[in-house]
Structure 1
């Protein structure tokens, strides 16, 4: 192990020890409050081009296993933690975290005071940073960091380039890939859905030609306003089919229907976020990973209504179309990692799909 430094765009420097890949990297520095699930977070494409800080003081203690991958090719730029387990142990373990990061060319930094770093991010907001083994010219690095936008157009990199299936035998569901998590596919597979995953820029005509029973808009990284190519597709598809958006899909759904989004100060990342359903008052603890949110005031002049809010800061966590069977949530009901309080939302989507199929069948018979 050698010295490694985190240099932030405000000029702050943290010195620690290196692990993982032996190279420099640049990205947005964000933090997650999850106590476990480090592998799912690292392989989550919503962290693409970001350097992830773990607030839990120890990670890597149960190793890495293929079953928990959220994507096979993670696009995270770096990992920062207080300590990495020296002797991980778990009956499912297939690799250690440091070796996994090395194999995937992801540098890591350990041995710093992550509490101090997180406090700085909470005060100043998300900052760009660089992990490097050399800190001789901090001013030059800071100047360069201020010029770059690490997450610009990132969905184009992480979305699938060609359609692919996740076979089932019951409902036909199209998933639009903005940075899809495998856990979403797992939840659809549990419900025996026959899934076709399509690129983020697929037009409505191609979606409808597949004759799906419903459409799901996936999670993904970056600024949702960069996904304007998908807005016409959403506006057309929601007229014909049940539609369900998750995270980035929620934001794209909002923008397509005339609402607005904004960048949060430091975002929601972790799985201890309480969300209230307005119609019932029921509170669910949810898994979240996003740096943008829907502007609640902008929803008022749209055909949408707010259905859920985050209790801590009142951010919009759910939307419903007033005319069509289309809805969305900002959090991850697939919960990988995280609590399963909200997993039944997938069943709500299935109910919408089944109702639409019944109506279509009845119309054909009449």
Structure 2
């Protein structure tokens, strides 16, 4: 066999191996912009059907009248949902149990001291999460969550801890040297699609307010800090967006002018608001729970488990592919007086109502 045949044989082998690791054709292409701009979404029917099956909303519990005594007049220590009727309150508690702890049931949040007691940290966390959900629907509805809305199920999917959460990543242990810190390149990380990009794009962008935009508008060295290193961090976050929503870059960007807002589709603005919503959730709500969380619910750096885009989306461009769960649970659509008071107090919930006894409680 001559060299040409050997090279051809190796080429065929590599092509076969390569195809085996890719999506099985055919694929479907959806045009989302003008012809010639490359604004197309490539969809694998098989993978899409798997995602659809994994993003089904549960059947709603039948609605109950909003009339009758209020929960706060019937039960003790109902801080967030006290203005609901007793029937509405019990219906929502039953739904949250199914959404978050279907196996353990009510005892996941309520302990031996009675329903009204705050003796379990999970109950304190649940109270903050209810307030956070109401905030997401009311304050961010017009810009990000509407018309689908979010409920506890959007993230939890029947699990006490959502499948997709993150904490500050300390990074790999590096030997001492004079070399520059590699910021995690070439370290396998699901957060950035296993690319050789920085392994933790979440801390600076989804908790901090670091500048995501990487295109410099001034010449060096006039204060322009848009470096290649900074670009890599931004690309890491963009990889997370793409993986979380199951979309291409052109879902939010015009391929002929990535940086130009005027030529971008509306989804880019929705993503802009989503980033700021997630920052608020992580800092103003989840961050307040750290004082009473056990170490098992914290990361290696001692911070709580936080939200990212995939926490809600889980591979779908809309969480649960737009299933309108919120219409069945309008009590989560607006902030209650109790939820506003809970957050505006700006204090650890560990010091708030340390356990009256009696029935009820949320």
Q: TM-score, normalised by structure 2?
A: 0.25
The structure that is strand-richer by fraction is 1
Normalized per residue, the structure richer in helix is 2
Q: Which has the higher contact order (CA 8 A, sep 6+)?
A: 2
Name the TM-score, length of structure 1 as normaliser. 0.24
